[in-house]
Amino acid sequence: MGVLFDTKTVPQTSLADLAAIFRSIGVSGATSDHLLVLQHSISRLLDTLASFSTLKKVTKISKVVWIDEQNFDHEHMETISSSIVFLCDGGFEILDAIAGILKRKILPFNRTSKISLIVANRLPSATDLAIENLGIKGDVKVYHWSSLRPIALESDILDLCLPQGGLGELFSGSINPLDELAGSLLDLVINSGYKVRITNTFIKGEHSSKLWNIYQNKYQTHLTKVDPKTKKRIQDQDETLFVDQHSFFNRNVDFVCLDRSVDLVSAVLTQLTYTGLCHETLGVQLGMVSVPEENLKLRFGDFNDEIYQLVRDLNFSMVGSVLNSKARTLQVEYDKRNNLTDIEEMKKFVGELNKLKESQKCVQKHTVVAESILKSVKDGDLERQIPGLEAEMPTSNKFNAFVELQQEILSDSLDNKRNCAAILEYMYQFEPPLSEVLRLMILTSIVKRGVREPEYEHMKTEIYHMYGMDAFKILLRMKELKMVYPRESLSFLPTSMSEEVVTSPHQLIRDFSSIGNGLNLMPVSDQVDPANPQDADFGLPGYVPIITRLIEAIYSREFLAAPRDMRVRKYGWDNLDLSALDGELRQEFLVPETKKSLFNSTIPPKASQLADRKDLIIVTFVGGMTYSEISTIRFVLNKNPVTKSKQVIFLTPGIITGVDLIDSLRYR
């Protein structure tokens, strides 16, 4: 199956755009001897594009220093380059720092160097205004580089790398994450040569709806600026797409966009996949995991790492056995050299030797990472066992208690008083990070439609005594956003009269029990086999994310025991009961009026009749997604014969954890 958009082209396009900017700087009079003055956080993003030697070659830079006034002290100014190029993300603080360097360190002593500023964001107007307000507009030549983000984190993940997935900005009312996502979506369409033509939208949540509106405005504005040749190409793409049903169903593009607030539950639960647990325990930055004590750095998603593809989506309990099995298989292949007698066989073995060695190195690296995850979880604990999980699952009293308490809360097996007491007991016994306690509070509030006022006040007091004022402020913020909802007990009133609004744009689950039953979020199985999961509950403690079910429901209702249909039926969200989930819902079939007659039949052609399919699903969560959520979505789409052959691209503002959710609530 071909693809409509190759994510491998993303870093190539970004690097080419940067090289073009440096060529423009050179054409305008600067020499090729550029001093690059770099924002530290941008350097990590540059590492994902190319090696330093490649970057140096295409940009003609001779030296790199950080944006720091000390690098421009008087003794350094004598050897300063004739071309100084600042590269930053355009944040006001960093622009202010650059203005300070220019006014105090460079301009008073050096009027001969050409000074350029490259800003890596999608907000040129805001950046230009900030530069003018800082009083350096006439001192620097400004260039805008909008293609640094997203980065191709994996073959199916494009990541904008926004802090906490942009949640903090969204909570404060900023639309910047929406604008960044809309701009990235437009770039994807343009860089595909307009082959990506969105034909179906599935949108849930206020922010997602705004994002789609922003994208449509950007797209229409873009169309007014394209040249006649490009406009003709776009029209030709549409004509080809809508020739008949066969052509359409080979090339349709679904855009699924959901607010993070659709499912805060899966954001606060402990991730149990290899990548998810690694992110929570060791930390993963821009796809890179580090194990300092082993002097190891490993990039998740490396296109040459075939081992990662085997283990990335597994429940962690299966990772050890898979790595051991692969190591044995590679050793058997390697040992074949001892029995080779034929010259041709020897030549063939030598030709495959490098690949075998690389695979062995990858197995060793992932083994070190897996062992480090275990060590991180066990640290400080003695012999412990997780009930119901394989021996290779991380085992520690604290880890056990945290996961089991999440499962108890999810099952709603505790009354209000015992539920809150269990959280406080966990807090007293293990003194966990504040984020864990607050995640349990959010989970409790969603499952129980709020926390009774007496329990809430008691927990607030105890948490304040344990963690101090920082915790108190975050609790107030959680209450303000209705992530935790203190409710009065009005048992003397009929249920219909004591209904309270327990949701907000930042937490949309109104009745967890109802949505849990309706979407089968906690499936029950007689046999649990982590090696061959039957459902998508392997990534979290017995829970299938709501967002995963919503995506699955577009193409299949098997999770509701619906009759199977081998024809290419798209259910969408029709006849799906989402009454327990608040927030705007939109689904549109984006077909021109003149072409709608092509789709009068209720069921499209059989999948077997669709040759050379190039259809695509673009999945976006406004507010970021977790590695485990991505794994469960891959699972449900891969097990469905209709969607198995579709290309999937996750366009995310960030890969987040439960800690990120809590950090985004801190007042700044």
pLDDT above 50 for 82: yes
Q: Give the H or E element holding residue 464.
A: helix 453-467
CATH number of the domain that residue 412 is part of: 1.25.40.850
Instruction: Judge if 49 and 90 occupy the same domain.
Output: yes
457: in domain = yes
Pair 311, 416 in one domain: no
In this predicted structure, the answer to whether residue 344 has a pLDDT above a threshold of 90 is: no
Q: Which of 222-226, 291-295, 355-359, 532-536 has the highest mean pLDDT?
A: 222-226
Query: Domain total for the chain?
Result: 3
pLDDT of the residue at 268: 98
Global confidence as pTM: 0.91
Together in a domain, 325 and 419: no
- Rounded (5°) CA angle 414-420-421: 90
Residue 468 in any domain: the answer is yes
Residue 312: give its domain's CATH number. Answer: 3.90.830.10
Q: Yes or no: say if 115 and 30 are a contact pair by the CB < 8 Å rule.
A: no
The 3 state secondary structure assigned to 232-274 is HHHHHHHHHHCCCHHHHHHHCEEEEEEEHHHCCHHHHCCCCEH
- The answer to whether 151 touches 120, Cβ cutoff 8 Å, is no
Is 428 a residue whose pLDDT tops 80?
yes
191 in any annotated domain? no
The whole-angstrom separation of Cα 516 and Cα 522 is 7
Q: Which two tokens stand for residue 44?
A: 């990590």
Do residues 27 and 137 share a domain?
A: yes
Backbone torsions φ then ψ of 149, nearest 5 degrees: -115, 150
Query: Same domain, yes or no, for 98 and 53?
Result: yes
* Domain match, 20 and 114 both: yes
Domain that includes residue 420, residue range: 397-497
Taking the CB of residue 471, how many other CB atoms lie within 10 A of it?
Answer: 20
What is the distance between the alpha carbons of residues 327 and 625, in angstroms, rounded to a whole number?
Answer: 32
Same domain, 360 and 429: no
Q: What is the CA radius of gyration of the chain?
A: 27
Residue type for 174, please? S
Are 476 and 357 found together in one domain?
no
The contacts of residue 149 (CB under 8 Å, 6+ apart) are: 45, 120, 159, 160, 161, 180, 184
Q: pLDDT confidence of 1, banded at 50, 70, 90? A: low
Burial class (CB in 10 A: 0-12, 13-18, 19+), 463: buried
The Cα 478–Cα 636 span in angstroms is 32
Are 104 and 58 in a shared domain?
Answer: yes
Residues 404 and 349 in one domain: no
Q: What is the mean pLDDT of residues 189-218?
A: 96
Among 85-89, 238-242, 469-473, name the one with the lowest average pLDDT. Answer: 238-242
Last residue of a domain, one of 497, 523, 542: 497
Does residue 322 belong to any structural domain of this protein?
yes
CATH of the domain at 137: 3.40.50.2060
Considering the domain architecture, whether residues 309 and 433 belong to the same structural domain is answered as no
Q: What is the mean pLDDT of residues 578-584?
A: 96
Residue 607 belongs to a domain: no
Last residue in a domain, options 378, 411, 440: 378
- Split at pLDDT 50, 70, 90, the class of 585 is very high
208 neighbors 583 (Cβ within 8 angstroms): no
Are 19 and 128 members of one domain? yes
List, for residues 592-618, the tens digit of each pLDDT value.
777 777 776 645 555 555 556 679 999
Question: Which of 132, 148, 164 represents a domain boundary (last residue)?
Answer: 148
The average confidence (pLDDT) of the chain is 88
- State residue 235 phi and psi, 5-degree precision: -65, -40
